[in-house]
Amino acid sequence: MKLIDPIVQFHAELQQIRRDIHAHPELCFEELRTADLVAAKLAEWDIPVIRGMGLTGVVGIIKNGESKRAIGMRADMDALPVQETNTFAHASRHPGKMHACGHDGHVAMLLGAAHYLARHRDFDGTVYLIFQPAEEGGGGARRMMEDGLFEKCPMDAVFGMHNWPGVATGTFGVTAGPMMASSNEFEVTIRGKGAHAAQPHKGIDPIMTAIQIAQGWQTIITRNKSPLDAAALSITQIHAGSATNIIPDSATMIGTVRTFTTGVLDLVESRMRELATHIAAAFGAEVDFAFVRNYPPLVNHAKETEFAVDVIRSIVGDAGIDARVEPTMGAEDFAFMLQEKPGCYVFIGNGEGGHRSAGHGAGPCNLHNGSYDFNDELLPLGATYWVRLAETWLRKR
């Protein structure tokens, strides 16, 4: 493994930064303290800063030479509404809020790269350091773009990185094409007619109608789309009724749909609406159908993915590229950036959880889990990746 020595020597400070952020988690668009910390560090290292894009976003700008070429590198800053079960010294000090997805580590790794690049500047062009708010459901990437990210910071390509538990420390996972799924949610209310449960013939049962709709929807996955296309349709909530002897007036189903392509998503949404409407009509009921598209599929660009893999290989060798890492049905709002700019998003292995300090929770070290903690061993590796990515992209000619 070819880590950059000055970054390795900076490891202790990066760990301190990471653990400070972990102890003070902030939810989407509330990342005021985190943004202040990031901006202060960048200013301390003489890096110009733009603030306010995406409300709490921060962009650092490092220029060198005369080239107009530029690269963007993004880290997300927000935490999750999760109660932390860890009790080590840097555990969350805010009940119900936790860095359960490792964004604290993402910020620290990009700051490590910023510290090095500001001092050495072995490149020709511009590096944009994008510290993004509100990845966890807030669409912070889109908000930054709406506030002029790519106009104020014109870049040729943009890159992202996320830690990935279960993948060995020192390895990366990446694939060209779809890497993460679209994130969509639905809420369907079936409106029937209430009645006494002992006289069901006098009503229109929305619960039985909902059951038939739910079963019908599964045929979309098994009979309407191609077996070669991936999709997940999950009903995660059903709300109906108030007593054992009352057939209610309505029932509501809520859930999520995930796909790797917009075409499959179009098919699933259309068939869901058709089946819900016609099945309800067959039972004498009506439906209110709402379908919200949150994040599009995250699709890595082929050329930029090949470039990122070459950079990874130069650091960790072929053995450090985990071919077992597959695309995931999880979603990421970095997808919005990849719709506008070419780029690549990679996973960096977070290990199996053995790195956690004494006092960690009894649960697994999985993302969005109260026992999770970012692996500080990754800090020099992730920062080295960012530096080599920028230096190689902006190589002096």
Summarised one tens digit per residue, pLDDT across range 7-33 is: 999 999 999 999 999 999 999 999 999
**Cβ 332 vs Cβ 162: under 8 Å:** yes
- Residue intervals of the chain classified under CATH 3.30.70.360 are 183-295
Query: Domain 5-180+297-393, what architecture?
Result: 3-Layer(aba) Sandwich (3.40)
Each residue's pLDDT expressed in tens, for the chain with a length of 397 residues: 999 999 999 999 999 999 999 999 999 999 999 999 999 999 999 999 999 999 999 999 999 999 999 999 999 999 999 999 999 999 999 999 999 999 999 999 999 999 999 999 999 999 999 999 999 999 999 999 999 999 999 999 999 999 999 999 999 999 999 999 999 999 999 999 999 999 999 999 999 999 999 999 999 999 999 999 999 999 999 999 999 999 999 999 999 999 999 999 999 999 999 999 999 999 999 999 999 999 999 999 999 999 999 999 999 999 999 877 889 999 999 999 999 999 999 999 999 998 998 889 889 999 999 999 999 999 999 999 999 999 999 998 6
Looking at this protein, which amino acid is placed at residue 184? N
Tokens of residue 269, six digits: 């949404």
Give the integer Cα–Cα distance in Å for 12 and 263. 47
Identify the H or E element spanning 36.
helix 32-44
Compute the distance between CA of residue 47 and CA of residue 39 in angstroms, rounded to an integer. Answer: 9
Q: Which residues contact 125 (CB under 8 A, 6 or more apart)?
A: 63, 64, 65, 67, 68, 69, 70, 71, 393, 394
Q: Where in the chain is the domain with CATH 3.40.630.10?
A: 5-180+297-393
Beta strands in 279-367 (DSSP E): 286-295, 298-300, 343-349
**What is the dotted CATH code of the domain comprising 183-295?**
3.30.70.360
Q: Model-level pTM?
A: 0.94
- Residues 253, 246: Cα–Cα separation, whole Å: 19
pLDDT at site 154: 98
pLDDT at 88: 96
Q: What is the pLDDT of residue 17?
A: 98
